Structure 1
């Protein structure tokens, strides 16, 4: 077995970057840690060891169990042989064991030796105490075989699963698109404790026509793809949305699925890839409970997040990966997209324009056609055959964005299967003629209020002044053709636009401008945080007495630790003739400038002057 003394020496010898990485993986309280012995004791504290053991998978736990049973250090080949004889780890390769040993050594849970490792006493003792905590005993970690993997789907079941997966994938792309449109219209507030504010969640659920529980899934998928982010406490679209919205449906799904894949933690990705042709339902939960026996609930919650997103994205259907889902894990998003689009419904680029000012799409609209249509018509219902509707306000919105009567008419004539109905022609002409009857600009210096609303149509202005839906603007009449508000121009402009008044915005000189309602979440570099691990490493290095092993303080702490642990060590002593002699000694006491201990090789008591002791090392 290996003790604190060996770990302290190892920590002292580690390069700074490796030591800092260890401390980031296993944070310790900095208070009370003044040297490497204190750090070793903190890392081998039972509670600290338990926190490090709990999230480990069964192979790593089984490796520690095997080392705990062994007498001294074991080679990688020896560990592999021992593991191969147990049901839980049968078939484990040497390469897998070597990677496991390296990972456990990086966590200071085992002591590396020549092409192998040894167990720390504290880690072995903690594993032995697991049954008292309701956790598996070390032997059970080795002897419990994994649950059986269910049989793959039949060809008929697989075909049905693939069709369902493609339907969900198509709906997910449309859902993310609608989510981003709604976030651009009005951001969604993020609570300080995490999660969306309830009003925002309900609004987004209505916009996506889904249950409120689906909104966080859609938002997570969009965020992983870099399409949505939080800025000033609001979820908003990012600058990447414009290009994504105009991509093909296949490319948009590829981006979403690829981001989901890239976001998988390494262990989760390996687990799901290994089951790319098997169900992910209850059998996956059973496997997780076997694989992570000390962190069952935590692991299920972590994996469930990705499984829910996979189901919504169409990577799985009914928790069964289809061909596209399997290819996503095995070959990447490009190959998966080729398999997925085969099952997508055909997109259309033409619509039916109705006399009642509605628009009916006979199938999923091509993204570029839908994006242009939505600048001049409002979405009423989304499905494989969506419905839109024109109104004076929607046409006015398009004109504000730069469209003209001619450009609107030309676009509609090109995409319509039924021509442009006369009522729609009248609506376009009337809306364009009325456009700009109400004008909003910033109030000048010394003016009453922050925005001024003007119109030559006194009747229309009077209607605005008494409109209860605009009461929050606190509009006050300055004269027969002017209203003032204490709110900024853009706030007043959008309130009037939402109330469907033919409003335009002006700058101070009277030139027309187009206020941008769509806020973008800028991607910023993560704020620098203190690297407490690096700070602790620097403090330990500065307090270390010397680089050589003959540092008096270092030797004193080593000897004190060996005496307290009654640990046999190799003591290097300088003889009067200049020779260095090694004694295999069990120290029993220090005092009066002398070290006392029993020489295990000669089986006699020795007393050595401390001034002659030049080094000390563990026999582990």
Structure 2
């Protein structure tokens, strides 16, 4: 029997890191836990054991059943031999059993042998809970062993795979494009995250319009960006991360690789192994059927978990219509590099030349090279996004570029270098006019009465008056100051960006009147938040209580062991010091402790014994 006594002794061992790690994986009551016996009681409580068993897959559950039915601890080879004879786990590999036993041991459901840590058993509470499963509407231990897996799936024919690959490549390209647009829009204006999670409807509509996708695609794109560490929440706002800038400038295949690698890394080990086994077969309803068999105690939860991963896989082009693409099969079999090599062959070639037209539109004849597109987006507004994208140059877009540090000459040189049609005269005029207008409004820091912190000035009095009465700028509370000047209680940067967003030709100045380039900090920063680790605090408290007890620890430990054995009526081995110096082991079923003596039935001699507690040197669970 492997009882609370055995678990309490194991918990008392000094490997705090392993113990805390195990407690992180368990749900248990913490109230009333004052020593390791209380902790063992809490971990072997029926509700705690049930919560630990429910998520386990069938091989782990089957291993627990086999261990619970054995008369003695078993090695991994012995467990594998017994499982191989069962329909549910026929032909199971020893390595799989070793992994299952390690997991059960790490969850504090299985117990390594006291004499040989390579042999295992499970705690009696685990066996009892599994036996009670039929009353809970769950498979019985016999059903866990005797129910065979669903039949293997038929592979996707090569003729279908060609169509699958073509559709998957289209989806993969669209996914990369959507995430790029998402990051650009989040950099322009972050999206507020709701307290309960998710995005508010106005933010979803705005992002859907920016991405040119249906609203239900926005959470999928955001999930892909978050998994790849390209977007994160900072102070309640979804924003791009530092990594997003590097990703945006990378070639399309490399950007897809980052998204696909993040998807693969996020897969739970059991799901990854399952998909790897079915890398050449459809991932549809038959996969859901297998998941239901694999997780018999948590069918719906397991299926929902797999559905979330397979939905994202379909959107990323890892699959198409739930059939793995060549790149998708390579991803789960060989990894992101092999998958990217397969997908890159199907992507359209990138171009670095565009058509500049007299109507101020810029048309790309194919997907733009990232370095060209990134700079072009800073100069012009995106009108339509597809394999052939269209941008439009305007006074506002050129002014925005000048604000970001571009120059009129630099804009002309860049556009000329990428143009297949030269530099149209209307476009040249537009750049020249925007450059002349730029800086007609200037914002500087200022100090004055009534909390004045910035000043807006312009030689154009009419323009200054327009700014003062502009309702979109009402929150700045601009007030007339000196000649050609408006004053605000807000900082210079706040006023500057408000004017820039309202499309006024504004520049910022430092205290000496020199122009400065301001950049918005729309990047999610990593924050070091101290998270309370209740499990670690509990272990530290229990260790401290033992240390404080000092010399009394041994006596208290012995008393708790005996008290627990008496209450559980569980056989124990008592080590007793004899008058001649020998230590003799007695196998007893304890019946009571009192008056400094232990009473119990000696099974070997079939008599009642009474032993002085002062002579007891140790207690251990009966084998």
Change (3 A) 1:498 1:552: closer
Aligned to 2:298: 295
User: How is 1:300-311 mapped onto 2 (pairs within 5 angstroms)?
Assistant: 300-311=303-314
Candidates 262, 265, 275, aligned match of 2:268: 265
Match of 1:582 among 585, 589, 592: 585
Aligned to 1:63: 63
> Structure 1 residues 453 and 540, CA, compared in 2 at 3 Å: closer, same or farther?
closer
- Paired residues for 1:527-566 under 5 Å: 527-544=529-546, 551-566=554-569
Shift of 1:390: 0.8
SS of the residue 2:593 aligns to: strand
Gapped regions of structure 1 (runs ≥ 5): none
Q: Which residue of 2 aligns with 1:76?
A: 76
Q: How many residues align?
A: 619
Deviations 1:308-345 (A, max 9, x none): 22222211222222111111222221111111010001
* Cα gap change, 1:228 to 1:618, in 2 (>3 Å): same
Displacement of 1:446:
3.1
**Preserved CA contact (<8 Å) 1:550 1:614:** no
Matches within 5 A, 1:23-42: 23-42=23-42
Q: Distance in 2 between matches of 1:366 and 1:35?
A: 64
Displacement of 1:584 in angstroms is 1.9
Q: TM-score, normalised by structure 2?
A: 0.94
Partner SS, residue 576 of structure 2: strand
Asked if 2 retains the 8 angstrom alpha-carbon contact of 1:55 and 1:292, the reply is yes
**Compared with structure 1, are the counterparts of its residues 550 and 498 closer, same or farther at alpha carbon in structure 2 (3 Å cutoff)?**
closer
Specify the alignment match of 2:323 in structure 1: 320
TM-aligned CA distance change 1:548 to 1:475, over 3 Å: closer
Report the CA distance shift for 1:556/1:199 in structure 2 as closer, same or farther (over 3 A): same
Deviation at residue 301 of structure 1 after TM alignment? 2.8
Q: CA deviation at 1:245?
A: 1.8
CA positional deviation for 1:549: 12
Look up the match of 1:455.
458
Indicate if the aligned counterparts of 1:149 and 1:278 stay in contact, CA closer than 8 A.
no
The aligned residue for residue 13 of structure 1 is 13
State the Cα distance separating 1:475 from its structure 2 match: 3.4
The 1:441/1:543 distance shift into structure 2, 3 A limit, reads closer
1:595 to 595, 598, 617: 598
Q: Please tell me whether the aligned partners of residues 30 and 42 of structure 2 are also in contact (alpha carbons under 8 angstroms).
A: no
Deviation at 1:590, TM superposition (A): 2.2
In the TM superposition, 1:129-148 aligns within 5 A as: 129-148=132-151
Structure 1 segments of 4 or more deviating over 6 A? 545-550
Give the whole-Å Cα distance in 2 for the aligned partners of 1:217 and 1:474.
Answer: 40
CA distance 1:556–1:500, change in 2 (3 Å): closer
| C-alpha distance in structure 2 between counterparts of 1:109 and 1:167, whole Å | 48
2:182 corresponds to: 179
State whether residues 404 and 519 of structure 2, in contact with CA within 8 Å, keep that contact through their aligned partners in structure 1.
no
Cα distance between partner residues in 2 of 1:238 and 1:101? 40
Partner of 1:229: 232
Q: Is the 8 A contact 1:393 1:497 kept in 2?
A: no
Corresponding position of 2:435: 432
Deviation per CA, 1:49-108: give whole Å up to 9, x if none.
101111111111111112233333333333222211111111112222122122212212
SS in 1 for 2:33: coil
Mapping 1:65-144, distance limit 5 Å: 65-113=65-113, 114=116, 115-144=118-147
- CA distance in 1 between partners of 2:346 and 2:537 (Å): 55
Instruction: Give distance in 1, aligned partners of 2:521 and 2:185.
Output: 10
Deviates more, 1:27-36 or 1:39-48: 27-36
Does the CA-based 8 Å contact 2:66-2:82 persist in structure 1?
yes
Answer yes or no: is 1:568 the counterpart of 2:571.
yes
Cα gap change, 1:49 to 1:405, in 2 (>3 Å):
same
Contact 2:404–2:518 (CA under 8 A) maintained in structure 1: no
- Is contact 2:599–2:611 with CA below 8 Å preserved after alignment? yes
CA contact (8 A) 1:392 1:500 kept: no
CA shift at 1:359, angstroms?
Answer: 1.3
1:418 paired to 2:421: yes
The answer to which of 335-344 and 269-278 deviates more is: 269-278
Asked whether the equivalents of residues 76 and 119 of structure 2 are also in contact (C-alpha less than 8 Å), the reply is yes
The answer as to 2:356 corresponding to 1:353 is yes
Q: Verify the 8 A CA contact 2:27 2:52 in the aligned structure 1.
A: no
Aligned to 1:607: 610
Q: How does 1:126-205 map to 2 (within 5 A)?
A: 126-205=129-208
1:407 counterpart = 2:407? no
Cα displacement string for residues 21-70 of structure 1 (whole angstroms, at most 9, x for unaligned residues): 22222243332122222222111110011011111111111111122333
Structure 1 residues 421, 619: closer, same or farther in 2, change over 3 A?
same
2:244 corresponds to which of 241, 244, 251: 241
State the distance in 1 between where 2:484 and 2:566 align.
96
Cα separation, 2, equivalents of 1:296 and 1:333: 30
Residue 336 of structure 2 corresponds to residue 338 of structure 1: no
Q: Give, in whole Å, the separation in 1 of the partners of 2:485 and 2:615.
A: 99
Alpha-carbon distance, 1:548 to partner: 10
Distance 2:458 2:541 in 1: 71
Contact 1:101 1:116 (8 Å CA) reproduced: no
Equivalent residues in 2 for 1:462-501, closer than 5 Å: 462-478=465-481, 481-501=484-504
Distance in 2, Cα, partners of 1:421 & 1:586: 99
Equivalent in the alignment of 1:48: 48
Q: Does 1:213 align with 2:222?
A: no
TM-score by length of 1: 0.94
**SS of 1:118's equivalent?**
strand
RMSD of aligned Cα (Å): 2.2
In 1, are the aligned partners of 2:232 and 2:239 still within 8 Å (CA)?
yes
